[in-house]
Chain A
Amino acid sequence: MDVVDLIATILMVIGLFFAFIGTLGILRMPDVFGRLQASTCISTMGTIFVVLSSIVYVVAHGMSGSVVVKLVFILLFVLGTNPVSNHALCKGAYRSAKPNPEPILDDYKEDDPQ
């Protein structure tokens, strides 16, 4: 096992660790908002480091440049679509779900911008 494989493995382990943190957060958090927040870990840090690890592997093993481009596109699309769905879920949950624990301050309810 040479140095490049070692680097790729370390990056992959970091990514999987944060995906694990996100999953653990989804299981442990008591309400929708906490779960949404924890799940962001998976789609940011998890995806970024898994893709970085794959890029290192692909470059080191001399595969075509198109594979790198496709990996970068995977990253961009995940990072581009995740906030949209997260924001919509958070707003929907705000209207229907009961927060637990209660928020200590809620400017949204006071101002009611819609």
Chain B
Amino acid sequence: MKGFKFSAWLSTAILCFLFWLLLTWSFAPRELILGVLVSAIVSAFASRFLIHSRAFYLYNPVRLVLLVFYCVIIFFWEVIKANVSMAALVLRPKLDYKPGILRIPADPELKSDYGLAMVSNCITLTPGTITMETAQDEEGRNYYYVHWIDVAETDRDKAGEAIKGTMERWIGRIWK
């Protein structure tokens, strides 16, 4: 099979098997055997879509704890802030807002595709901002094109600070 790597397959199979355990919630032997079989077959097909490099990167306890901390505290707080400002905008008697599409520079420390994808998905998940595209210029710097419902800051760098908040710094600690 084209693009098949054993480490990627093993990593995906472990992840699939953990999902199987959590969903079936049983340790009966036939469930375990069936789970191993199903996750081995599924990950043989799916691993090349899920993992491209550094297969066991996230199986590090420190990174897992950071990831959970990021999702539960940092991301949750950003979502609450953005939701409250969105609610204030929608409940205003007269709708007047200034939409715009801005080019936001990414953190130069953040090189990996997974990190960039996670930052752009988190930007999309906060109401009021949607990432339309990530692009790379000639010098290798990454940019997000972000649709912002109410442009409060036209300077690109300061707008980036306002949109990304502390999210990118924390994702940079997880993915490098």
Task: Tell me if chain B binds chain A.
Answer: yes
Q: Which residues of A contact B (CB under 8 A)?
A: 18, 21-22, 24-25, 28-30, 33-34, 36-38, 40-41, 43-45, 48, 64-66, 69-70, 73, 79-80, 82-84, 86-87, 90-91, 94, 99, 101, 103-109, 111, 113-114
Q: How many A-B residue pairs have CB under 8 A?
A: 134
Inter-subunit contact A99/B99 (CB<8 Å):
yes
Note all chain A residues with C-beta closer than 8 A to B124.
40, 82-83, 86-87
Does B103 lie at the interface of the complex (its beta carbon under 8 Å from any beta carbon of A)? Answer: yes
Pick from A37, A103, A113: contact of B127, CB under 8 Å: A37
- Judge if B25 is at the interface, Cβ distance under 8 Å: yes
A-B residue pairs, 6 tightest by C-beta: A66-B25, A83-B124, A113-B135, A107-B103, A40-B127, A83-B121
Q: Which of B107-155 touch A at CB < 8 Å? A: 120-122, 124-133, 135, 143, 145, 147, 149, 151, 154
Shortest beta-carbon distance from A96 to chain B in Å: 14
Q: Are B83 and A70 in contact (CB under 8 A)?
A: no
Question: How many whole Å from B69's CB to the nearest CB in chain A?
Answer: 16
Question: Count the B residues whose beta carbon is within 8 Å of the partner chain — how many?
Answer: 40
**What is the bound-complex CA distance between A69 and B107, given in angstroms?**
34
Q: Is the CB of B98 within 8 A of A104?
A: yes
A40 neighbours in B (Cβ, 8 Å): 86, 124-128, 130
The verdict on B73 contacting chain A, using a C-beta distance below 8 Å, is: no
- Least CB distance from B67 to A in Å reads 12
